[in-house]
Amino acid sequence: MTSQLDQLKRHTIVVADTGDFRQIAAYAPRDATTNPSLILKAVRQPDYAPLLAQTVAAHRGEPLDLAVDRVLVRFGCEILAVVPGRVSTEVDARLSFDAAATQARAERLIAMYAAEGIARERVLIKIAATWEGIQAARALEARGIHTNLTLLFAFCQAQACGEAGVRLISPFVGRIHDWYKKAAGPAWDAAAQAGVNDPGVQSVARIWRHFKAHGVATEVMGASFRNVGQILALSGCDLLTIAPELLAELQAAPAEPGAAPALDAATVPPATAPAPRLDEAAFRYALNEDAMATEKLAEGIRAFAADAAKLDAMILAL
């Protein structure tokens, strides 16, 4: 049986969104993404507790932030043993408003991967898409260190990333959906706001079309899905990063014969004029005007920072 997952792979690069590398092989994704919450979830499992303990014990006495990065890289190396492509490893979210510190941490992560024999082309450094994060990514890309800008909710974030030469962006779908659903309250019509009408899907599709129309080389990877319908409504997007639970649903469902991709670059006409460029003031004002993006970006940084602190505590306890 040809599955929906098989069908999706014909149009889109499928990426596994997990730190649980033992789950990945069953779905044969090309790449994998992690974040502080996913790594924390993985190290709390009994199967991964020895890996955490061994990594920390091998480098006992090092500063805490260095120990954390060693754990992230260890998981990244294990993932790269399973996937043929790239892994995304995230810089500490507590550095989201410090461009210099973000750049330094990214360079250290790449050096750690290099020490394990991993070429930098197989690693994407995940950075929150704040103004400072985007400027750090600009500097890193200039040095041949490729980045994945995450916690991306607003069009201005995507535009600034494209202008900075970022390799890949991860615009979120599910968290945008959640915000609009909560804002609508009892008036929310789930059926009417599904599929291509989902506000999160529409946000990613708008970014993707803009990049194709303007010849922006930055890859667009839809992320943070709540259901299979959102995923299928973005088939044809450059990449989609999908949690194992949803990968399993796609793998179990039969393909729809003759289904065309929802996004088709051949149907996007080229732009007739260049897009106006964003300086810092314009970026900050545009982000401020988008209440959803402002709230979800702040909320996401706080959540990742909280999980980073929990991982710190686990390491200190060993």
At 123-133, the pLDDT tens digits run 999 999 999 99
Q: Among residues 9, 126, 182, 310, which one is catalytic?
A: 126
Average pLDDT of the chain, as a whole number:
97
Domains: count for the chain: 1
Query: What values do phi and psi take at 128, rounded to 5?
Result: -65, 140
Sign of the dihedral defined by the CA atoms of residues 49, 50, 55, 59, in that order: positive
| Contact (Cβ atoms closer than 8 angstroms) between residue 147 and residue 124 | yes
Left, alpha or beta for 53 (phi > 0: left; psi -120 to 50: alpha)? Answer: alpha
Contacts of 158-162 with C-beta under 8 Å, sequence gap 24+, read 158/207, 158/210, 158/211, 158/218, 158/220, 159/210, 159/275, 159/278, 160/129, 160/131, 160/134, 160/278, 160/283, 161/129, 161/134, 161/137, 161/218, 162/211, 162/214, 162/216, 162/218
| Contact (Cβ atoms closer than 8 angstroms) between residue 111 and residue 118 | no
At 154-207, the pLDDT tens digits run 999 999 999 999 999 999 999 999 999 999 999 999 999 999 999 999 999 999
CATH for 182: 3.20.20.70
Strand extents, DSSP E, 18-86: 31-33
273-287 in b/e form (b: 16+ CB < 10 A) is: eeeeebeeeebeebb
The pLDDT assigned to 36 comes to 85
At 24-44, the pLDDT tens digits run 999 999 999 999 899 999 999
| Contact (Cβ atoms closer than 8 angstroms) between residue 166 and residue 147 | yes
Which amino acid appears at position 30 of this protein?
R
Q: Does position 210 have pLDDT exceeding 90, yes or no?
A: yes
Burial class (CB in 10 A: 0-12, 13-18, 19+), 316: exposed
Extract the tokens encoding 23: 């789950």
Query: What values do phi and psi take at 130, rounded to 5?
Result: -80, 170
SS3 249: helix
At 261-301, the pLDDT tens digits run 999 999 999 999 999 999 999 999 999 999 999 999 999 99
In angstroms, rounded to a whole number, what is the distance separating the alpha carbons of residues 168 and 183? Answer: 30
Q: Does position 257 have pLDDT exceeding 90, yes or no?
A: no
| Contact (Cβ atoms closer than 8 angstroms) between residue 228 and residue 235 | no
- In the chain, the percentage of residues whose pLDDT exceeds 70 is 100
Work out the angle at residue 51's Cα, subtended by the Cα atoms of residues 81 and 60, and round it to the nearest 5 degrees.
120
Domain that holds residue 117: 4-317
pLDDT band at 142 (very low <50, low <70, confident <90, very high): very high
Q: Does the active-site annotation cover 310?
A: no
